């Protein structure tokens, strides 16, 4: 009853007063970070002045996180180019490169894409165009019903010196919805890479894997000799006709495949060979006003001859399969004694071969930029993060995106949000849940019970913090009142128990112990201290 009254007051408050604050910046080391919660971004990010990029940008808020602003595209059927140049190039010698950003696509929309491109130190943000060379391109295509995440990188051929683009063959996909999503790319010093979507790993492997990227980074060790030719006597036919086989004497190739049915050579009884199958309709009359000079001579429409129930006209017997038919005789096939297999040209050492194991050593990164295309609908970006430390990304995601993702899921499913999410403009605060250290090993059942208890405590704590001061006082008064009623009832039970006969003392003691246990459990829940997180 106490819990029922408690939840009635909790959920009778439709507008929560408290908020969960999320940090506005990463707490760990990073090379570049940009959100769009203030006006500083416009001084760092520059629009390309190339005429093909005519799209207009605008900062807008998302419903689920009122203070978390995204940079949105506002022009339909347009291209966008926005980039920033770092104060000093980011060197990646034997270092990890981790880049990520949030993207949101509004409904309805057709196809569009948002690609984060990594540039070298020669970047000029005002002159960015579709032909500007870049080191890495990464981001999603928003096309109903799925998103496909693209990843490609340029690498210099050690033999020719040419820059070659290597693209991911199999693209990660995720279903379109009304939530923002987090796209992360990590490239490590061992040439491994990993793509994460919403902080979950979707694909990982090696930049050197020829089955993952096309074309492969390293050329093959051997190539086909174009000058090699198949010998004239090379026989690739596995089976040949038996030259020694002869056609049987009784094999008649002139017999037709079908013949007239010998049992139905004569027409059936009632067949009228002299009657037409169609006759003029005797009931038809010429329409009034029929002009023969204009329409021609009027003729009655034809109908089926009622006399032809069995059949009329020339009788043709039906055909049946000829039992004597054998067709053209073909000699049987046997294994070719001269068969040598399928011929393939020989392979020779590739003069262009090299083994590059330093693919991860990209040129120093001079800046990053976004290339966006839209048809219908807006695409928003936010929280752009570049770092050489993976842990920085994981910590930031834990205290920002995970909270937003949970609230977005609740809102999209039509559930009530118990708290608002607000971006904290102060220093980042680590959000954590305090837990009591275990003093002994716990069984699976005890762990399950403890988990349920923790969930109840967390729910009570979250609900309590959403109450106004007046509501809290009312709830406390109700708890005290109901608790007093329970104490009076317990006293009455004890008096009754002491008045019973001694024969029922054992049963009465058991009942009393059960009552005490219930009170202690209830008392424990009421006095538990919960840390908000």
DSSP 289-357: T--HHHH-S--PPEEE-TT-SS-BSS--PPEEE-TT---S--PPEEE-TTB-------EEE-TT-----
User: Does 347 reside within a domain?
Assistant: no
99 three-state secondary structure: strand
Q: What pLDDT was estimated at residue 523?
A: 36
Task: Specify the pTM.
Answer: 0.60
Nearest to 111 by CA among 381, 370, 379, 376: 376
Rounded CA gap, 138 and 143, in Å? 16
Q: What angle do CA 85, 86, 91 make, to 5 degrees?
A: 125
Which residues have C-beta within 8 Å of that of residue 271, sequence separation ≥ 6? 310, 311, 312, 315
Task: Say if residue 368 is in the same domain as residue 474.
Answer: no
Q: What pLDDT was estimated at residue 245?
A: 93
Q: Which of 388, 421, 454 is the last residue of a domain?
A: 421
Task: Say if residue 75 is in the same domain as residue 214.
Answer: yes
Domain count, the chain: 2
Query: How many beta carbons lie within 10 A of that of residue 165, not counting itself?
Result: 14
Which residues have C-beta within 8 Å of that of residue 275, sequence separation ≥ 6? 305, 307, 308, 312, 313
Q: What pLDDT was estimated at residue 400?
A: 85
Q: How many Cα atoms sit within 13 Å of 426 on the Cβ side?
A: 3
Asked if 79 contacts 47 with a C-beta cutoff of 8 angstroms, the reply is no
Q: What pLDDT was estimated at residue 512?
A: 40
Task: Say if residue 391 is in the same domain as residue 504.
Answer: no
Task: Say if residue 369 is in the same domain as residue 516.
Answer: no
CA distances from 529 to 179, 460, 468, 509, 525 (A): 34, 11, 19, 32, 9
Q: Which domain holds residue 454?
A: 445-527
Q: What pLDDT was estimated at residue 520?
A: 35
Task: Say if residue 387 is in the same domain as residue 452.
Answer: no
Q: What pLDDT was estimated at residue 470?
A: 58
Nearest to 111 by CA among 62, 145, 70: 145
User: Does 306 reside within a domain?
Assistant: no
205 three-state secondary structure: strand
Task: Say if residue 44 is in the same domain as residue 152.
Answer: yes
Task: Say if residue 477 is in the same domain as residue 398.
Answer: no
Q: What is the pLDDT along the chain (533 residues), one digit of tens a residue?
A: 444 444 444 444 444 444 556 667 888 899 999 998 877 888 899 999 999 998 899 998 877 666 678 999 888 888 999 999 999 999 988 899 999 999 988 765 567 788 999 999 999 999 999 889 999 999 998 876 778 899 999 999 888 888 999 999 999 988 777 778 999 999 999 999 999 999 999 999 999 999 999 999 998 999 999 999 999 999 999 999 999 999 998 899 999 999 999 999 999 999 998 999 999 999 999 998 888 888 899 999 999 999 999 999 999 999 999 999 999 999 999 999 999 999 999 999 998 898 998 898 899 999 999 999 887 668 899 999 999 999 999 999 988 888 888 777 766 665 544 444 555 544 443 333 333 333 334 444 444 455 545 554 555 554 555 455 556 677 677 766 766 666 666 656 555 555 544 444 444 444 444 333 333 333 333 333 333 32
Q: What pLDDT was estimated at residue 24?
A: 73
Which residues have C-beta within 8 Å of that of residue 49, sequence separation ≥ 6? 126, 127
Rounded CA gap, 490 and 495, in Å? 9
Asked if 30 contacts 386 with a C-beta cutoff of 8 angstroms, the reply is yes
Task: Say if residue 173 is in the same domain as residue 62.
Answer: yes
Task: Say if residue 111 is in the same domain as residue 197.
Answer: yes
Task: Say if residue 365 is in the same domain as residue 484.
Answer: no
Long-range contacts of 9-15 (CB under 8 A, 24+ apart): 9/467, 9/471, 9/474, 9/475, 10/463, 10/464, 10/466, 10/467, 11/416, 11/463, 12/471, 13/466, 13/467, 13/468, 13/471
Rounded CA gap, 28 and 34, in Å? 14
Task: Say if residue 199 is in the same domain as residue 73.
Answer: yes
Task: Say if residue 120 is in the same domain as residue 166.
Answer: yes
User: Does 12 reside within a domain?
Assistant: no
């Amino acid at each position: 009853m106490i819990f029922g009254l408690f939840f009635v007051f909790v959920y009778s408050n439709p507008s929560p007063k408290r908020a969960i604050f999320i940090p506005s910046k990463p707490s760990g080391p990073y090379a570049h970070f940009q959100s769009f919660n203030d006006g500083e971004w416009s001084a760092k990010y520059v629009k390309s002045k190339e005429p093909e990029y005519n799209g207009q940008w605008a900062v807008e808020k998302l419903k689920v996180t009122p203070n978390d602003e995204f940079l949105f595209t506002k022009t339909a059927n347009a291209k966008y180019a926005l980039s920033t140049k770092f104060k000093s190039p980011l060197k990646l010698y034997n270092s990890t490169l981790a880049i990520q950003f949030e993207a949101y696509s509004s409904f309805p929309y057709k196809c569009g894409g948002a690609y984060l491109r990594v540039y070298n130190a020669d970047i000029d943000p005002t002159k960015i165009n579709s032909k500007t060379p870049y080191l890495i391109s990464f981001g999603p295509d928003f096309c109903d019903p799925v998103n496909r995440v693209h990843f490609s990188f340029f690498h210099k051929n050690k033999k020719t010196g040419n820059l070659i683009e290597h693209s991911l063959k199999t693209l990660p996909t995720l279903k379109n919805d009304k939530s923002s999503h987090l796209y992360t790319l990590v490239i490590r010093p061992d040439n491994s890479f990993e793509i994460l979507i919403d902080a979950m790993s979707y694909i990982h492997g090696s930049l050197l894997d020829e089955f993952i990227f096309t074309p492969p980074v390293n050329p093959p060790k051997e190539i086909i000799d174009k000058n090699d030719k198949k010998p004239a006597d090379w026989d690739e036919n596995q089976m040949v006709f038996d030259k020694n086989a002869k056609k049987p004497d009784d094999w008649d190739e002139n017999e037709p495949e079908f013949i007239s049915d010998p049992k139905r050579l004569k027409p059936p009884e009632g067949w009228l060979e002299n009657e037409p199958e169609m006759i003029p309709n005797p009931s038809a009359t010429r329409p009034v006003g029929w002009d023969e000079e204009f329409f021609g001579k009027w003729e009655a429409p034809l109908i089926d001859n009622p006399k032809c129930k069995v059949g009329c006209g020339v009788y043709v017997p039906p055909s049946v399969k000829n039992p004597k038919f054998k067709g053209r005789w073909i000699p049987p096939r046997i294994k070719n004694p001269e068969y040598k297999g399928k011929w393939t040209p020989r392979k020779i050492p590739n003069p262009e071969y090299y083994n590059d194991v330093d693919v991860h050593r990209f040129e120093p990164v001079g800046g990053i930029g976004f290339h966006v295309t839209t048809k219908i609908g807006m695409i928003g970006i936010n929280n752009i993060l570049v770092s050489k430390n993976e842990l920085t990304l994981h910590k930031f995601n834990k205290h920002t995106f995970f909270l937003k993702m949970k609230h977005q899921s609740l809102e999209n499913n039509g559930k009530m949000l118990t708290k608002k999410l607000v971006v904290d403009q102060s220093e980042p605060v680590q959000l954590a849940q305090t837990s009591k250290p275990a003093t002994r090993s716990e069984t699976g059942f005890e762990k399950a019970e403890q988990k349920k208890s923790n969930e109840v405590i967390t729910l009570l704590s979250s609900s309590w913090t959403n109450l106004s001061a007046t509501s809290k006082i009312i709830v406390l008064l109700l708890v005290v009142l109901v608790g007093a009623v329970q104490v009076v009832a317990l006293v009455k039970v004890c008096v009754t128990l002491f008045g019973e006969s001694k024969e029922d003392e054992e049963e009465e003691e058991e009942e009393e112990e059960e009552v005490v246990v219930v009170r202690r459990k209830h008392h424990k829940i009421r006095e538990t201290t919960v840390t908000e997180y």
